[in-house]
Structure 1
Amino acid sequence: MNTKLLAAALTGIMTVASVSAFAADSHKDQEKCYGIAKAGKNDCKAADGNHECAGHATKDNDANDFNFVKKGHCAKEGGSLEAVKAEKKAN
């Protein structure tokens, strides 16, 4: 097997593992706050499955989109710790 290819593959695997560990640790003092995300500014996928990525919210304050906030601050920002989870829209 090509040594450079093997080295590149191992580097890629280690990078993914370290990024995943960092991402999990970066939200340890935060909670998901639904209903406060502005269009295009959500932190991850929608609870109802309408989209799968951060930044894909199509309207402000959708009850299925969230932003991470400091623990204990969601209600102060007008959000909810639980999503509505309405039916997924037909494409």
Structure 2
Amino acid sequence: MARNHSTLSLAGTGLAAAFGLALTLATAPAEAATEQEKCFGVALKGKNDCAAGPGTTCAGTSVRDHQGNAWKAVPKGTCEKTASPSSPTGFGQLAEFAEK
């Protein structure tokens, strides 16, 4: 009888370990694919992630669309391809900028 109990216990432990490993492997590529960077000048009013300049506190505090000192997290490599009508280049920037 003890043998059946330990066999079931071992099988359950092995199953739990395999399930944990599968979850780890399934999420690893997704994390790598979603690496983010700060992109200034692309957030809409009140939709920034942080750093909205003097007089504001943090996330959700930008006072206008495409504010040059407010950023939004975007997938790495897309910031400078994202439209920003207030930017001197017309695209998001990796650093704060003076709006045109």
TM-score bracket relative to the smaller structure: 0.5 to 0.7
DSSP-derived class of the 2:81 partner: helix
Larger Rg: 2
Moved beyond 6 Å, runs of 4+: none
What residue is the counterpart of 1:53 in the other structure? Answer: 58
Percent sequence identity is 41
Segments of structure 1 that go 5 or more residues without pairing to the other structure are 1-24, 87-91
What residue is the counterpart of 2:67 in the other structure? Answer: 62
What residue is the counterpart of 2:92 in the other structure? Answer: 79
Q: CA RMSD in A?
A: 2.3
**d(CA) in 2 for partners of 1:50 and 1:67?**
18
Segments of structure 2 that go 5 or more residues without pairing to the other structure are 1-30, 83-90
**d(CA) in 2 for partners of 1:50 and 1:70?**
28
Bigger relative contact order, structure 1 or 2, given CA contacts below 8 A and separation 6+? 1
Relative to its length, the structure with more helix (as a share) is 2
**d(CA) in 1 for partners of 2:66 and 2:55?**
15
Superposed counterparts of 1:1-91, under 5 Å: 29-46=35-52, 48-77=53-82, 78-84=91-97
Q: Quote the offset at 1:50 in angstroms.
A: 3.0
DSSP-derived class of the 1:75 partner: helix
Note the alpha carbon deviations across 1:43-83, whole angstroms, 9 max, x for none.
0122x333122001110001100100011000110200010
Compute the TM-score of the two structures, normalised by the length of structure 2.
0.52
Aligned AA (1:51): T
